Structure 1
Amino acid sequence: MKLLRRPFRYRYDNVVIYLIGINILVFLAQQVFRDRHVTFYLALNPVAILNGWVWQFVTYMFTHGGISHILFNMLALFIFGRHVERQMGSKEFLLFYFSTGILAGVFSFVVYLVTGSYGIFLMGASGAVFAVQLAYAVFFPDSIIYIWGILPLRAPVMVLVFTVLELIFSITGLQSGVAHLTHLAGFAFAWLYFLIRFGANPWNSLVGRR
């Protein structure tokens, strides 16, 4: 347990900007090289994973299905990720980001296998971005977020609202084509990360301050 909780030496390298840059470059490659099937090789597909393309557990996080998809993900990563990275330090943030994103992909892969959804291509940084949003709410529980620029919500309330919406969408099938379970997995693995890595229960921060 001590090894799991050994802290990194703090440094801040603004890696969020680099992550955003890589996402943009991959998205541009998807648009330019459509005939070379960039998405086919990088997005997460259950059959491809079973055939040994395990890199897709990482690369799916850098592919996106359209301009609005990448725009909202990168905007959220920019808004919340910079603060979380500054709080954690860049090395810890990268470990957090990739751990939650990869595990969200693994969880989705298992769900696809169980449900027989072999033709799905999972794309997007949303699993990791949702994890970052949870971390932001834990570190800054009194922060006010303006949804759509007009609706003020405390960061923990924002996370609660997003969680409820994702559950509703998952159960009802509304907004089909969106990986709601991957989003929820991002929240769940972020929660576990705080418990295991920091020995802290996120609930205490989310509800302990008014």
Structure 2
Amino acid sequence: MLAITPAVRNLLILNVIFFLLDPYLNLTGRFALKSVLSEGFLPYQFVSYMFLHGGIGHLFGNMFGLFMFGPLLERIWGPQKFLFFYFFTGIGAGLLFSGIDYFENAQLREAVEIYTQYPSPDGMVDLLSKFAPKELYQASLEFLNKFEENPTNSSYIQYSVSFVQDYYNHQINTPLVGASGAIFGILMTFGLLFPNTELFMLFIPFPIKAKYFVAFYGLYELYAGYQNAQSDNVAHFAHVGGMLFAYILLRYWNAHKSNFY
């Protein structure tokens, strides 16, 4: 097994330190990546979100990937180029995620603004069925039934307006955390540079070549991101963004081979 390299070691240490301090200093509240539509958004969050994680399992999964695949790339490129790559793919993942998030939440914001002006039972049903998770829609059925029976009730109208506004605020203030974008960038690069290396994966009883594993994982993330299951809290498009920006950077470096490796 290859010994751990300096940049990878420092990244591991920083991620663990941030994770341990987060409950005491509320680092997630200030440094996680929020929607650009949120008043809490700040540009530095495109970097700081990479050092925060949603739980021990999230942290372990990302750090395990960094530990397994990062040292080899750092040996090839050296610490400075590896760190540039790490932040380039991590920031790129945040940018792609934020772009898609903006597109989706801008539509939600417009729908909420229209509903606020013209609240009605049918309008609330339409908004929730288009933008809300199925679980939230189903949990609101009792109120929706009462609202439909009394569409002019001022209390119901005010509650419905507050409900959809609160949902919008929740959506734009739900932060993105994790180094997954950079880790998927590392995984993508490993598959491109060492496509025929056989990997032994947990729960797969046979070796699989890196190129097939990366291709399958990338297609899955695209599918999962497109499906956008509301009960799924994984930022699939951030993963896709990390892989995409890794591919772009490798193509650039290959086109300027005097600067590559």
TM-score, normalised to structure 2, is 0.66
Counterpart in the other structure of 1:63: 52
Alignment of 1:118-157 (within 5 A): 118-148=172-202, 150-157=205-212
Q: Does 1:183 align with 2:239?
A: yes
Tell me: CA distance 1:86–1:118, structure 2 relative to 1, closer, same or farther (3 Å).
same
Tell me: CA distance 1:125–1:151, structure 2 relative to 1, closer, same or farther (3 Å).
farther
Letter in 1 for 2:20: L
Answer with 1 or 2: which has the greater Rg. Answer: 2
Please state which structure has a larger fraction of its residues in helix. 2
Distance 1:186 1:155 in 2: 17
The superposition leaves residues 49-99 of structure 1 with CA deviations (integer Å, 9 ceiling, x where unpaired) of 766621110010000000110000000000001111111111111111101
Distance 1:50 1:199 in 2: 41
TM-score, normalised to structure 1, is 0.82
Counterpart in the other structure of 2:108: none
Partners of 1:84 and 1:139 within 8 A in 2: no
Counterpart in the other structure of 1:4: none
Distance 1:135 1:85 in 2: 12
List alignment gaps of at least 5 residues for structure 2.
106-170, 257-261
Give the CA deviation at 1:164.
1.6
Q: Does 1:111 align with 2:100?
A: yes
Q: Does 1:14 align with 2:6?
A: yes
Partners of 1:16 and 1:77 within 8 A in 2: yes
Distance 1:173 1:148 in 2: 26
Distance 2:71 2:17 in 1: 20
Count of residues in Structure 1 that have an aligned counterpart in Structure 2: 186
Give the CA deviation at 1:187.
0.6
Letter in 2 for 1:193: L
Letter in 1 for 2:12: I
Q: SS where residue 147 of structure 1 aligns?
A: coil
Tell me: CA distance 1:37–1:48, structure 2 relative to 1, closer, same or farther (3 Å).
farther
The superposition leaves residues 157-188 of structure 1 with CA deviations (integer Å, 9 ceiling, x where unpaired) of 11011112112211233461000000001111
Alignment of 1:31-110 (within 5 A): 31=23, 33=24, 36-47=25-36, 53-110=42-99
Distance 1:23 1:139 in 2: 26
Partners of 1:101 and 1:186 within 8 A in 2: yes
Tell me: CA distance 1:66–1:102, structure 2 relative to 1, closer, same or farther (3 Å).
same
Q: SS where residue 53 of structure 1 aligns?
A: coil
List alignment gaps of at least 5 residues for structure 1.
1-11, 201-210
Distance 1:80 1:129 in 2: 9
Counterpart in the other structure of 2:221: 166
Tell me: CA distance 1:51–1:124, structure 2 relative to 1, closer, same or farther (3 Å).
closer
Distance 1:179 1:154 in 2: 26
Identity %: 32
Partners of 2:35 and 2:41 within 8 A in 1: no
Higher relative contact order (CA 8 A, sep 6+): 2
